[in-house]
Structure 1
């Protein structure tokens, strides 16, 4: 009798597994960033010069994300000219 009960439990599990995968639906995660773009002093090769900073950093902050993450980047341009931003993902 115990053997028949375990077979029913296994069969119920196997039949319910596809239903469970349909019921458990998640969307891709969102990652939010706020960037303040401004001028500041940078020292490449030890020589002081004016550069563009993001949140006071040069180079700017690293984005840590994985495939299918939704990135929302709010950029506030505090420069006295338009600013174009692009990036490369290997």
Structure 2
């Protein structure tokens, strides 16, 4: 009987080490710069996030974003 209890306890300990919760937040670092974009087929100056336009698509409720503004003016993001 004692061996069965030990086996169950060992199994529970192994499961507790494997089953780890996922971080509820997504973390991003954005470098905001100017660049040349052509959304309508004509090259023009635009704002890039990490070198891309449009910026990244985020599907989450809990996000933490570190923004580094490398523009010549203040930068505002709204959701």
Q: Normalising TM by the smaller chain, what interval?
A: 0.5 to 0.7
1:57 pairs with 52, 59, 69, which one? Answer: 52
Structure 2: runs of 5 or more not aligned: 1-20
Q: Secondary structure at the match of 2:27?
A: strand
Structure 1: runs of 5 or more not aligned: 1-25
TM-score (norm 1): 0.60
Larger Rg: 1
Residues 12-61 of structure 1: per-residue CA shift (max 9 Å, x gap): xxxxxxxxxxxxxx797011011100000000211000000000111001
Alpha-carbon RMSD across the aligned residues, in angstroms, is: 1.8
TM-score (norm 2): 0.67
